[in-house]
Every structure is written in C-alpha cells, then in structure tokens.
Amino acid sequence: MYCASFSDKTIEHFMQPRNVGDMPDADAVGSSGEPGCGDFLAIFIKVSDNRISDISFLVDGCVAAVASSSVTTELAKGKTLEEAAAITDQDIVAALDGLPEHKLHCSVLGATALKNAVEHYYRRRQGNNQGGGSRSTA
C-alpha cells in the first residue's frame, strides 16, 4: 500500500489537516510551487506584536504536501516572525516523523511559503507593496 511509506503523523495531518482555509483579511500571503503543473501552497498570516497570531493555508498537492502544509502552520503559530522565518524543511520533516525520500520536496513548499509570507509582511509594513489590499506573493 502506498500510504505504508508515510508515518502515522503524516497520515494524521493529511486526514485531519489543521488551519486549512483562505484568510481574506490576512496581513500577508506567501506561496511556493507551481500552480497548474505541480504542488502549490499559499500560506496566510495575521501578525500581532511581531508574532503570528493566526495562520492558514490552501494547498493543491499530494498527501505529503497537505501534511507538510498543516504541520508548518502548527510550527509557526505563536512564533515571532523571525522564529517562523527560521523554520526549515528539516524541521517540517522532523515534525512529521519523516517523509519518504521522493517526497522531501513537499517540506520545502512549507518552509518557502512561510518565509515568503514573512517577507511579504515586512514589505507591506515598509510601504514597498503599493496598491492597497494586494494579495501578491513573493
């Protein structure tokens, strides 16, 4: 069975992903992947006192992509922006009790989208993201 190569933690996050959904009032959005031709992840964050107070995601991808996205949000919620930006793909894999070698790229989606969301937040705060309400991503 294909799922036998996934840890119980990965299957749990796939079957019951945390923090799924759009966040229209997000302070920032970050994405990673290629929409339409592979796995694609968008992470939405709300920030309060330099901490991620709320986080959600939308993903189009496989079991590992969904699980990686879910666990990324759990790792980041409540962290400072600096702590969240420091989350690596290895941290995501460890939180899932491992991923099969051919699925390790899915953990990179989470780490990259999260870093892009933090960068987007900083750009918006600096006023470099003109256009009011834009949901552009890095």
Helix (H, G, I), strand (E, B) or coil at 115: helix
Q: Between the CA of residue 11 and those of 6, 48, 60, 64, 90, what are the distances in Å?
A: 7, 32, 16, 9, 18
- State the residue range of the domain holding 117: 2-126
DSSP states along 54-95: EEEEEEES-HHHHHHHHHHHHHHTT-BHHHHHT--HHHHHHH
State the pLDDT confidence band at 1, using cuts at 50, 70 and 90.
very low
Choose between 125 and 3: higher pLDDT: 125
Average pLDDT value for residue range 133-137:
44
In this structure, is residue 137 part of a structural domain? Answer: no
Total number of domains in the chain: 1
State the pLDDT confidence band at 134, using cuts at 50, 70 and 90.
very low
The residue behind tokens 């945390």 is: 18
Q: Which residues are catalytic?
A: 37, 106
State the pLDDT confidence band at 91, using cuts at 50, 70 and 90.
very high
Encoded tokens for 74: 């759990």
Q: What is the CATH number of the domain that holds 97?
A: 3.90.1010.10
| Cα 83 to the center of its chain, rounded Å | 14
State the pLDDT confidence band at 38, using cuts at 50, 70 and 90.
confident
